[in-house]
Amino acid sequence: MHLNEQESQPVRRRRGETLRSAILSAAWEELLARGYDGFRLSEVARRAGTSRPGLNRHWDKKTDLVRDAIHYASDRFLLADPDTGTLREDIIGLMVQLNESFAMFAASLTAELSAYYGATGTSPAQLRLGLVEKRWSIIEGVLSRAVGRGEIDPDRLTERTARLPFDLLRHETLMTLKPLPREDIAAIVDQIFLPLVLPSTA
């Protein structure tokens, strides 16, 4: 995933948030290109069109810059509210959007960041969890509308069941390192999630 398709060149002096964004974008590109072990702050500065002292004013630790670059990259993924009018299609729509994001992070970060996980005591699951957590208000809105339409029994909607389809999606992409087929997404919703939250017909 390239956050900046054009090769960064030190054409002009950048400051503040503009410089910070350029550094984070460059750090993400460096991470994908060289992995954590090959990650060099001097190369990040070159890609961002700044100097090493300029970079050090914002980050002086490799681990901190890598962490912030990962969060910066994850923030590029925008989750739109499908608002289709049905719970099933809304959840499938959310999962389809997250599917590519989870797979990209699984493929990129599992290979390139093994040394980072060891150095910081973090895990791929913790990093990918942020993809859902930062967007949870949208998911909550989908579930709230479904409760209002009578599609969900609020007594059956626990935090665990609400997160289940997204946890399963994250697990599947971690195991395969590729997007989950749409029919498998539909199966998670139809065979696992909906039976847990739909009102009882008894």
Domain boundaries, the chain: 16-74, 87-197
Instruction: Give the model's pLDDT for residue 11.
Output: 46
Higher pLDDT, 57 or 10: 57
Topology of the domain comprising 16-74 = Arc Repressor Mutant, subunit A (1.10.10)
Distance between CA atoms of 70 and 28, rounded to whole angstroms?
A: 7
Mean pLDDT of the chain: 86
Calculate helix-pair angle for 136-148, 87-112, nearest 10 degrees.
160
Rg (CA), the chain: 20
**The pTM of the whole model exceeds 0.85:** no
147, amino acid identity: V
Q: Do 147 and 157 form a contact (C-beta atoms < 8 A)?
A: yes
Q: Over the stretch 124-134, which tens digit does the pLDDT of each residue have?
A: 667 666 667 77
Dihedral angle at the C-alpha atoms of 155, 148, 82, 105, nearest 10 degrees?
A: -20
Per-residue model confidence as pLDDT tens digits over 58-89:
898 999 999 899 888 888 778 899 999 999 99
